[in-house]
Chains A and B, each alone.
Chain A
């Protein structure tokens, strides 16, 4: 009898807990009231945590089909087999990336660009296509250079948001890059920079970040999308659930584009217990690529360089 009563109490407790947890399931955006984020000690929306994009924007901001490799070459025409001539050459992985097989393939993906159009000026569109054809030699990501903005947001690495009173830090795992979002007034950078100068302000639930003072060295993705030193990015970070941030960036660059354009995507909380941003000091990972053939000896082979 006593055991039965205990069992009933446990069952009721479990049911109550389940009902309580169910009631705390976050409302999905567009379903009733907008989500209101928990607040920090100074009353701001709390965006802190480890976040990551889950999309293919770093491969290509625009909609794209799957393809065999990031660097491809056209297969030579078959002349020995009559009737098998091709109007379009088949694209095959370039020699330098061939060994990666399926690991080196590019997954298809939806556009993160509003309207799927990046409004390049004609010369810039030609430049973008050339960049894509020379991806292997040109993408700054390959050389472990700082990724710039907005690319840092949607690289396949997590980043952490840390909120203090006068500043918000974005600590990116890739290349150990950190951005300080200044909430207090700051002077412009004395020189152009890879990650730009970020000035932040709160608009209700949203952290708005105005980013300027860029150099022209970073790209937006592995598809050759690029900008000049006139780049101006306005980012908006809004919590839409306990585990999601909505990210928007308006991109303006009068030297390269005909009008401002916008990307948007959800960011997902990495809520593994005690999730950390780990070290990815990729500079040491690319030294062989950049310098291996330049010294007296190539450390990869032990052979004297010619």
Chain B
């Protein structure tokens, strides 16, 4: 089953062909999995119980210390599913049940079993999506974390992306083309298959296993290293104004508001002509992002992003994402995607074969 809406968070529904670089990234994932096995499970409740003993760590120069490797490990849908219409939070009972299902699915995946094969509820029948499609990219043995939120989007209150009518059409068109083509030239695959990027808007919580992001701080700068596509953000926090140079990742300036890092990003390059699996991840020149990073306990970075772009959305929207800290010795690895992109010639060769077949059958 393909998804015709924005892709669910924590899954990676993309037609991926293994590349040399991807293999290296996979080693990184496995390493992270192994190193993360001893980590305690947290639900929102567990996290809050430890909060009283926790104090905000600080760098030698006095900023809140956000450093480490972080990834989103939650099972919260990006948009609110229809079944939770009008409800922003799950009940405690629902959290318990979902947590049980997540653990069961993870155990099944680790055993190399699809749910149906062991006479249990199949992954596709489960009330929470498993990672059945492109499951190569997932940590099979690690259950996703269950939180009370029914959607990452908290504003607008219905938990849905407020597309403009044109953007909704473009989203439907992109979704229909996704994995189907036609793939006539290198401009047709999505930007992930082209080894370009998945974009800055979803960087903190998209990608395999929610994506690995390493935060490194130095005086006057916060750097975010995103393993996938080796995307990197060098964010000055020294009070400088925005640059007037447009970039695909825009121009980011950061500031500290109490213990929150606030990053304001404008001056994006227009990439609306590039194909994406999810239209909301591609920038237009009118995109404006405000991101707020707050460490709320030892294990959790609360990431709040407000997305404003009148070209794509009829109103701003805000998502709140609880991002988990991985073990201290977790490293991110080199992601040589473009350097080993054998998929592109194969995809284009397949496109030519399809075109030739169509010509001969006409």
Contact = CB atoms under 8 A, between A and B. Distances in A.
Q: Do A and B come from one complex?
A: yes
Contacts of B217: 164
A163 B336 CA distance: 25
Interface size class on chain B is 35 or more
Contacts of A145: 336, 338-339
Nearest to A295: B185
Interface in B182-223: 182-188, 194-197, 214, 216-219, 221, 223
Given A40-B219, A278-B247, A299 B187 contact: yes
Greatest chain B CB density within 10 A among A160, A189, A217, A283 is at A283
B348 interface: yes
A291 B344 contact: yes
Contact of B67 (A164, A277, A294, A299): A164
Contacts of A242: none
Contacts of A144: 338
Contacts of B186: 287-288, 290-292, 294-295, 299
Contacts, number: 134
Contact of B336 (A180, A193, A284): A193
A191 interface: yes
Interface stretch (A66-74, A84-92, A170-178, A262-270): A170-178
B184 A190 contact: no
A186 B331 CA distance: 9
Interface string B160-197: 00000000000000000000001111111000001111
Contacts of A177: 230
Interface size class on chain A is 35 or more
Contact of A296 (B184, B195, B225, B345): B184
B24 interface: yes
Interface in B314-340: 331, 333-334, 336, 338-339
B3 interface: no
Given A164-B67, A217-B339, A294-B348, A299 B219 contact: no
B239 to A, nearest CB: 10
Contact of B216 (A48, A169, A278, A287): A169
Contacts of A276: 234, 236, 243
Nearest to A177: B230
B39 interface: no
A274 interface: yes
Interface in B338-352: 338-339, 344-345, 348-349, 351-352
A41 interface: yes
A299 B184 CA distance: 9
Contacts of A191: 23-24, 27
Greatest chain A CB density within 10 A among B23, B195, B216 is at B216
Interface of B: 23-24, 27-28, 31, 59-61, 67, 182-188, 194-197, 214, 216-219, 221, 223, 225, 230-232, 234, 236, 240-241, 243, 245, 247-249, 331, 333-334, 336, 338-339, 344-345, 348-349, 351-352, 355
Closest 7 CB pairs of A and B: A41-B60, A295-B185, A291-B186, A279-B247, A162-B218, A296-B184, A294-B348
Given A144-B338, A191-B23, A294-B344, 16 more contacts: A40-B60, A48-B218, A145-B339, A162-B221, A171-B232, A176-B231, A190-B27, A193-B334, A193-B336, A195-B334, A277-B234, A279-B248, A283-B338, A292-B185, A294-B352, A296-B355
